Amino acid sequence: MKWKFGIEPDLDHYTCIVDLLGRSGKIKEALSIILKKVVIPDSKIWSALLSAARVHEDRKIGAYAAEKVLGLESDNAGYYTLFSNVNASLKRWDEVEEVRSVMKEMNLVKYPGWSCLEVKGVLDGFVSGDRLHCRVDEIYAMLECLNRNGLQV
């Protein structure tokens, strides 16, 4: 990128690389990118690594990434939830409870995720776990189809 196109990579570029490496299971390589290339890592790059640790059940790197991201954004309930999910995927229930207790003490609440989708000029909003949407049957049928075809949603 730098040599061929003269573009100096910035933090967003490195965050994308960390995310791609993490999604492909190369978590140690992703951590190496952060430690060797990024002068001042932000919460986005650490959360990309934490997400990869959850998916690939790497508690050691997950704990390290959680420490870093929570050091930057200690009031972000999403990062606590993500770290709790790392522990849950490894069936480390004591650690899950510990993280949830910290969240409770800090009065942190994780709000459900949401998405919007525009189809044929009509905008629809969806909230995670919503069963009241007028097209709920179609939505969950499509999610089931995507999951059957190996797409993680």
Rounded distance between C-alpha atoms, residue 34 and residue 14, angstroms = 8
Contact 96, 80 (CB under 8 A): no
Measuring CA to CA, which residue among 93, 33, 86 is closest to residue 55? 86
Tell me the range of 94-98, 113-117, 127-131 where mean pLDDT is highest. 94-98
Question: How far does CA 140 lie from the centroid of its chain?
Answer: 22
Q: If you ran DSSP here, which 8-state letter would residue 111 be given?
A: P
Closest Cα to residue 24, out of 42, 48, 59? 48
Contact 130, 140 (CB under 8 A): no
Q: Tens of pLDDT along 65-103?
A: 999 999 999 999 999 998 998 889 889 999 999 999 999
